[in-house]
Structure 1
Amino acid sequence: MWILITLFAAGCQSVRTAYQNTLARQTGFLHATMARSLYGMPLVTLYLILCWWLFGWVSVENKSVFIVAATLCAVAQIMATYFMLRVFQSGSFALGTLLAKTEAVLAALIGLPLLHYTLTFGSWLGIAFGVLGAIVMSVQWKNIKQAHKDISLLLGLASGLCFAITSVTASMASHALSGSIITRAGVTLWYVLALQSVILCSIQIYKSKDILAPFRQEFALSCKVGVLSSLGSIGWFTGFALVNPALVKTLGQIEILGTLYYSKMRFAEKMTKQQWVGGAMILISVILVVTSTIK
């Protein structure tokens, strides 16, 4: 079940990221980051009501853990999205998305002490292979000695770290609730998006001195970003509640197919042989993870 849910989430995110890149170019980082939460709230609210009706409500087993984990998840996701959009401007659409894929191994390492999940050798091999593939795709080997000074590399790795924190804390928050896994994931997602909307809308209103500022720029495009983001997030958060987030994010790297398509067709970016080799490595990592977890 988690495999199908993750594939759905990855597909939605691939298209959403392309639209969000366009939105960032037209409206700036703040609005593009805010759109994914504010404009996704209506759909997520309807989804949560449907979960409540079909699967029942939840109870809070550990309120403090839920609040801390879900709040950290919201803030980390804001920072991760911001860093990734910055890479789009300093590097490329493909580069930004690929560097963020280091989140898989980071989620595995962060999740070990916090979630107490165990991974098979095949899963670790798949995670490591995926991260290596992302490195092969993104690093300019002739400038390897200066890699630490590459702002695109640093921002991309920061995005990956923040996305990893998002994955792990989302899982922690869901497990602090009791009830249906589906509803638990929905409640966690709704809280995260609501908090993000409040934070980002407040900043945008304060900077523009206009209370309607969040709704004045590229409304139709913002709606597309919000809807696709909410659909993808429903998939991600449900996956995080079902299995180890590291496995979810590694399988989610299948999104690379969409990234390559949009990079080439929508943004006219050229893909090198090195990047195609790295992409193949990422696909192999996905196969390794899936085959090692199917029993």
Structure 2
Amino acid sequence: MTALASRFAAQGRTMLWIPFTLFAAFMQACRNAFQKQLSQNAGATAVTLARFVLAWPLAALYLWLLYRWQPAQPQPAFTTGFGMLIVAAAVSQILATALMVRLFQLRNYAVGVGLAKSEAVLAAALGVFFFSAPLTSPGWLGVMMGGVAVWLLSGLSRAAGQGVPAGTLVTGLGSGLAFALTSLWVREASLALALPFPFGAAWVLLLVISLQTLLLLGWLGLRNPAALGALWRRPGLTALVSLTSCLGSIGWFTAMSLESVALVKTLGQVEVLFTLMISAWYFREPLGRRDHGGLVLIVLAAVLVMWA
């Protein structure tokens, strides 16, 4: 009886990646809505910093609460290899975000964003060849179906016949590649700590966000100090961006410590559904016929990866 109960408990923990991913996708959609509002009064770099500037104390509080909940859990043993993974993940995510911001300044922005959302497909390919993370046939089908959904929703299909500018192509794919590498390195770092669930992911979250905050504060302090003032003038909105970003990261990091990045990111494309719902309800932006078709594919892709 004890062995059977342990088996069911292990299976239940394995499936926890699904609610954590859905939670992360919803928080990210909310964060994007708040960022859209903040960008009306602050520059792109300052808006990027808003994701991290208040997130690191929240991540520290989350880790502290975990140890209060289970005080007997061991402390991590940091190694040089683990430190390299943290640095790589932090820098890669900053680069991915910077390239995403660059897309705002290029023509065919929607096309570039669609290419950046190739993250799930790129993560699947990189995971197989470099991270020993193979997928089942339903998993691959779900990943590819999610890619088609992004193709429809972003406007890539409409622009394909007109040709995509080289700058947009390189920037969009570069952003997607950097996001994919970030996720893969985060998962590797969480597994490298070999801590019980969810402590490994919580430590990685705190270290990555703290390093990103230091790097961005240092960069803006030297290159554009005025950008910091823009955040202080909108403290409430800045706090909302940081809060939703931190909560979303808790969901992403925890889910990726339990399941392969490709499946997590494919299911995470339901963020598009949440975003369109927020756009229709909050920003009063109507949905088109193509949006409905893409949303159906995203739902099918989500079912496939959960089945996988």
TM-score, normalisation: structure 2: 0.85
Match of 1:248 in 2: 264
SS at match of 2:270: helix
Moved more, 188-197 or 44-53: 44-53
Match of 1:113 in 2: 129
Q: How many Å separate the matches in 2 of 1:66 and 1:36?
A: 24
Q: How many Å separate the matches in 2 of 1:96 and 1:266?
A: 25
Q: CA deviation at 1:97?
A: 6.2
Match of 2:252 in 1: 236
Q: 1:282 to 1:155 in 2, by over 3 A?
A: farther
Cα shift readout 1:205-243 (whole Å, capped 9, x = no counterpart) = 112346964752421111000000101101110111111
Q: CA deviation at 1:145?
A: 4.2
Residues 73 and 169, structure 1, Cα contact 8 Å, conserved in 2: yes
Q: How many Å separate the matches in 2 of 1:194 and 1:54?
A: 23
Q: 1:211 to 1:111 in 2, by over 3 A?
A: same
Match of 1:175 in 2: 191
Give the length in aligned residue pairs.
291
Alignment of 1:43 with 2:58, yes or no, is yes
Structure 2 counterpart of 1:58, from 70, 75, 81: 75
Q: 1:229 to 1:97 in 2, by over 3 A?
A: farther
Q: CA deviation at 1:141?
A: 4.2
Cα shift readout 1:56-101 (whole Å, capped 9, x = no counterpart) = 243336x122111111111111122233344456579977765443
SS at match of 1:199: helix
Q: How many Å separate the matches in 1 of 2:169 and 2:285?
A: 18
Q: 1:213 to 1:26 in 2, by over 3 A?
A: closer
Residues 36 and 229, structure 1, Cα contact 8 Å, conserved in 2: yes
Match of 2:28 in 1: 13
Which ranges of structure 2 fall in alignment gaps of 5 or more residues?
1-15
Q: CA deviation at 1:153?
A: 5.6
Q: How many Å separate the matches in 2 of 1:229 and 1:100?
A: 19
Q: How many Å separate the matches in 1 of 2:286 and 2:122?
A: 29
Q: How many Å separate the matches in 2 of 1:286 and 1:134?
A: 13
Q: How many Å separate the matches in 2 of 1:101 and 1:215?
A: 28
Q: How many Å separate the matches in 1 of 2:200 and 2:158?
A: 48
After superposition, where does 1:128-207 map in structure 2 within 5 Å?
128-141=144-157, 143-149=159-165, 154-207=170-223
Alignment RMSD? 2.6
Q: 1:110 to 1:9 in 2, by over 3 A?
A: same
Match of 2:10 in 1: none
Q: How many Å separate the matches in 1 of 2:112 and 2:29?
A: 12
Match of 1:284 in 2: 300
Q: How many Å separate the matches in 2 of 1:171 and 1:220?
A: 32
Q: CA deviation at 1:159?
A: 2.5
Indicate the percent of aligned positions where both proteins have the same amino acid. Answer: 36
Q: How many Å separate the matches in 2 of 1:140 and 1:94?
A: 7
Moved more, 82-91 or 45-54: 82-91
Moved more, 185-194 or 69-78: 69-78
Q: How many Å separate the matches in 2 of 1:153 and 1:282?
A: 23
Q: How many Å separate the matches in 2 of 1:173 and 1:121?
A: 27
Q: CA deviation at 1:281?
A: 1.2
Q: 1:100 to 1:250 in 2, by over 3 A?
A: same
Which ranges of structure 1 fall in alignment gaps of 5 or more residues?
none
Larger radius of gyration: 2
Q: How many Å separate the matches in 1 of 2:146 and 2:227?
A: 44
Match of 1:25 in 2: 40
Alignment of 1:2 with 2:26, yes or no, is no
Relative to total residues, which structure has the larger helix share, 1 or 2?
1
Alignment of 1:260 with 2:276, yes or no, is yes
Q: 1:212 to 1:287 in 2, by over 3 A?
A: closer
